[in-house]
């Protein structure tokens, strides 16, 4: 099973929501099977923006963080199909286009999960279910992914 990470997960891992959330996020991400996790290009672009604007990191340090993520996980490119799917999501479900690009990219890459704290937990589109990794009760697909990683 494949899963995509949303920007907020990457941002928390980079410390943008405090050290406790950073530690919890890094622990969570380390439990994911590396070969099953994909990063939408849009999420990496948003991460760069957050690191420079919100965290006030120099652009070179923000770029280094993006490269670290690229070294860890495969990437989902933003294609015309991803853009058209995002436009549908935005028009039909009132998603912001930036969030819609991430969900659409996950769908095009065959992901079953989009791991995000920001989007509607449990929302499913084109076979991709949004799941909050910090929820008290995790989605069964996410639990299955974590359990599979621990068993291997």
Report the pLDDT value the prediction gives residue 24, as an integer from 0 to 100.
Answer: 96
Provide the strand spans (E) within the chain.
3-5, 37-40, 74-76, 113-115, 124-125, 128-131
C-alpha dihedral (21, 1, 114, 112), degrees to nearest 10: -150
| Structural domains of the chain, count | 1
Read off the CATH number of the domain in which 119 is found: 3.40.50.1010
Q: How confident is the model at residue 80 (pLDDT cuts 50, 70, 90)?
A: very high
The DSSP call for residue 152 is -
Dump pLDDT digits (tens) for 49-79.
Answer: 999 999 999 999 999 999 999 999 999 999 9
The parent domain of residue 63 ranges over 3-151
- CA Rg value for the chain: 15
Kindly list the distances between the CA atom of residue 21 and the CA atoms of 11, 36, 115, in Å, as whole numbers in the listed order: 10, 23, 15
The answer to whether 117 and 16 are in contact (CB under 8 A) is no
Answer whether residue 115 shows pLDDT above 70.
yes
Answer whether residue 152 shows pLDDT above 80.
no
Strand partners, 15: none
The model's pTM: 0.95
Interacting residues of 31 by C-beta distance below 8 A, sequence separation 6+: 146, 149, 150
């Amino acid at each position: 099973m494949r899963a995509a990470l949303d920007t907020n997960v990457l941002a928390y891992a980079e410390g943008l929501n405090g050290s406790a959330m950073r530690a919890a996020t890094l622990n969570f991400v380390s439990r994911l099977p590396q070969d099953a996790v994909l990063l939408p290009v849009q999420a990496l672009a948003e991460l760069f923006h957050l690191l420079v604007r919100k965290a006030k990191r120099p652009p070179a340090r923000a770029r280094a963080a993006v490269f670290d993520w690229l070294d860890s996980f495969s990437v989902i490119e933003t294609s015309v199909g991803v853009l058209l799917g995002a436009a549908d999501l935005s028009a039909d479900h009132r998603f912001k286009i930036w969030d819609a690009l991430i969900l659409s990219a996950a769908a095009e890459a065959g992901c079953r999960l989009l791991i995000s704290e920001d989007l509607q937990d449990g929302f499913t589109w084109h076979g991709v279910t949004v799941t909050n990794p910090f929820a008290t009760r995790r989605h069964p697909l996410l639990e299955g992914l974590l359990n599979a990683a621990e068993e291997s």
